[in-house]
Amino acid sequence: MIDRRAGRVLLVDLAGRVLLLHGGDPARPEQRWWFTPGGGLTPGETVADAARRELFEETGLRIGLSDLGEPVHHEVTEFSYDRRQYRQEQDFFLVRVADWQVDTAGMEEAERLTITEHRWWSAAEIEASAEQIFPVDLAALLRRHTADAVPDGRC
């Protein structure tokens, strides 16, 4: 079991939708799921640094450290990826944008091979979907952290 830390981002637009990436495991190409931008820390990185770096790599959106604030959710998950077992402790940061057109030019080669598309999802769409979506409590998490929020218009 490989233990690792990760930083993830709930990127939310004016309509209260969250951006999710669609991808899978190269060792199990028949299985696909939706997930938030983010990933594991590199040596010397903080969780916030990793969340910012991964957000830029996977979506093209560059944000400052102060744009993240404090994590809004923490979880520990276990999964298999490329024939290895992981135990990942991860923090989720909420970032609001007025609008964002995803740019995948900064993706690393492994990301290009496994991430096939992106889509903005509402909490209702997440709840109604039969697809695998992570984190599993994303609809409730999205509702809890966007119910009374006013986006700051950043784009």
pLDDT tens sequence across 4-56: 999 999 999 999 999 999 999 888 888 899 999 999 999 999 999 999 999 99
pTM assigned to the model: 0.91
R_g over Cα of the chain: 15
CB-based contact 54:11 (threshold 8 Å): no
What is the per-residue DSSP string for 61-73?
----GGGT-S-SE
Mean pLDDT (the chain) is 91
23 phi, psi to nearest 5 deg: -170, -165
Question: What confidence score (pLDDT) does residue 149 get?
Answer: 53
Asked if residues 16 and 123 have their Cβ atoms less than 8 Å apart, the reply is yes
Q: Which residues contact 47 (CB under 8 A, 6 or more apart)?
A: 5, 6, 7, 41, 71, 90, 91
Q: What is the pLDDT of residue 113?
A: 83
Q: Residue 21 — φ and ψ, nearest 5°? A: -105, 150
Residue 150 has pLDDT above 80, yes or no: no
Provide the token pair at 110.
Answer: 């492994």
pLDDT of residue 151: 45
Q: pLDDT grade, residue 154 (50/70/90)?
A: very low
Reply yes or no on whether the pLDDT at 155 is more than 50: no
Two tokens at 45?
A: 């990185």
Looking at the DSSP bridge assignments, the partners of residue 98 are: none
Q: How far apart are CA 2 and CA 80, in angstroms?
A: 10
| CA dihedral of 42, 45, 48, 50, whole degrees rounded to 10 | -20
Higher pLDDT residue, 146 or 4?
A: 4
Which residue type sits at 153? G
State the average pLDDT over residues 91-97.
96
